[in-house]
Structure 1
Amino acid sequence: MKFIVLWNGLPTAESSVIERFMKTGGRVPEGVKLLGRWHAIGGLHGVAIVESDDTGAMAALALEWGDLLTMNISPALTDEELGGALGKYAAAGNK
């Protein structure tokens, strides 16, 4: 399953976030595949798309950075997956 990971950090955490990222390369835990990650310019926030079938690995991802960043992790669908879900919804008589 794919997930959207949004993160935000406080300006007071910037030095610690930079240090940890430079030390670890921002690696993700075993059981999580990083599909892409984008960082905001001039701010301590960004987004990543990851894939995992392991909720424990997803929790590890959040916990690894939880002391420095707030994270919002949500399941994600592609356009095709959403289209299929919408088609089933409409076929069931919903509008």
Structure 2
Amino acid sequence: MTISVRALISGKVQGVWYRQSTLEKAKALGLAGWVRNLSGGKVEVLFEGEDEAVEAALKWCEEGPPLSKVSKVERFHEEPKGIKPPFEIWQTI
């Protein structure tokens, strides 16, 4: 089943290759969506794809890449939008 989940990741998640690592993980899982830094220091991500792959990506987000220190992952389930791969890095807002 296809699902779509947007997440906000807090902690030491900027300047530690979090976005690039998320891109690589999402591509490996065959997910569509995007990741971007937010000006307040968080990272925002949208994963869309098979439910097991999305859950695996969200579980990975709780740890992140080696230099990160994740303190919180907030999940927001959304209606799937029919987004197709590739997964992308978006500009900071």
Q: Structure 1 length normalisation: TM-score?
A: 0.51
Structure 2 residue aligned with 1:88: none
User: Is the CA contact (8 Å cut-off) linking 1:32 and 1:51 kept in structure 2?
Assistant: no
CA-atom RMSD, angstroms? 3.2
For the pair shown, the structure with the greater C-alpha radius of gyration is 1
> Any stretches of 5+ residues in structure 2 without a counterpart?
82-93
Shift of 1:5: 0.9
TM-aligned CA deviation for residue 6 of structure 1 = 0.9
CA distance in 1, matches of 2:30, 2:77: 13
In structure 1, distance between residues paired with 2:69 and 2:8: 13
Residues 7 and 45, structure 1, Cα contact 8 Å, conserved in 2: yes
Q: Does 1:71 align with 2:73?
A: yes
Q: Distance in 1 between matches of 2:64 and 2:35?
A: 16
Correspondent of 2:8 among 6, 9, 12: 6
8 Å CA contact 1:37, 1:49 repeated in 2:
yes
Could you tell me which amino acid in structure 2 is paired with residue 40 of structure 1? L
Query: Counterparts of 2:76 and 2:16 in 1: how far apart (Å)?
Result: 27
How many residues are treated as equivalent by the alignment? Answer: 72
Task: Give the number of the structure whose residues are more often helix, by fraction.
Answer: 1
Higher strand proportion, which one? 2
C-alpha change, 1:78 and 1:57, in structure 2 (3 Å) is closer
Match in the other structure for 1:44 = 41
